[in-house]
A = this chain, B = another copy of it.
Amino acid sequence: MSDPADLQRAPTGDAGNKTSLQRGIAILRAIAAHGGSGVRLTDLARDLEMTPPTVHRLLKALVAEGMIDHDTQGKRYRLGLDLFVLAAQAGSCGTLRDLARPILLRLSATLRETVFLLVRNGFDAICLDRAEGPFPIRSFTGDIGGRVMLGIGQGSLTILAHLPEDEQQEVIRFNLPRMQGMGFLDEVYLRTAIAKVKAQGYASQHSGLLPGMSGVAVPVFDRQGRAVAALSIGTPTDRLTDERLTVVVDILRREAAGISRQLNPFDPALSRPGV
Interface residues of chain A, those whose CB is within 8 Å of chain B, are 8, 18-25, 28-29, 32, 35-36, 38, 57-58, 61-62, 64-67, 69, 71-72, 76, 78-95, 98, 105, 119, 121-122, 126, 128, 132, 143-147, 266, 269-270, 275
Q: List 20 A-B contacts (CB under 8 A).
A: A19-B20, A21-B24, A21-B65, A22-B64, A24-B24, A25-B62, A29-B86, A36-B89, A36-B93, A66-B121, A69-B270, A72-B270, A79-B87, A81-B269, A84-B87, A84-B128, A85-B147, A86-B145, A87-B87, A87-B88
Query: Does B36 lie within 8 Å of A95, measured CB to CB?
Result: yes
Q: A145 to B22, Cβ gap below 8 A?
A: no
Contact residue among B69, B87, B146 (Cβ-Cβ distance under 8 Å from A93): B69
Task: Name the distance in Å between A64's Cβ and chain B's nearest Cβ.
Answer: 7
CA distance A35 to B89 in the complex (A): 7
Bound Cα distance from A15 to B168, whole angstroms: 50
* Number of identical monomers bound together in the oligomeric complex: 2
| A82 with B144: CB separation less than 8 A | no
Tell me, in angstroms, the Cα distance from A158 to B257 when the chains sit together.
43
A-B pairs, top 4 by smallest CB distance, nearest first, are A88-B145, A87-B87, A79-B90, A21-B24
A24 partner residues in chain B, CB cutoff 8 A: 21, 24-25
Cα distance, A266 to B65, chains bound together (Å): 21
Measured between beta carbons, the chain B residues less than 8 angstroms from A132 are 105
Are A20 and B22 CB-contacts (below 8 A) given A79-B87, A90-B79, A93-B78? no
8 Å CB contact of A79 from B58, B80, B93: B93
Q: Are B145 and A67 in contact (CB under 8 A)?
A: no
A20 contacts across to B, CB distance below 8 A: 19-21
Task: For the complex, give the distance between the alpha carbons of A21 and B90 in Å.
Answer: 19
Contact partner of A25 (CB less than 8 A), chosen from B29, B67, B87, is B67
- Tell me the nearest residue of chain B to A120, going by C-beta: B81
Which of A24, A25, A88 has most B Cβ within 10 Å?
A: A88
Q: Which of B69, B81, B126, B266 meets A71, CB within 8 Å?
A: B266
User: B145 and A61: CB pair below 8 A?
Assistant: no
A25 engages B93 (CB within 8 Å): no
- Distance in angstroms from A113 CB to nearest chain B CB is 14
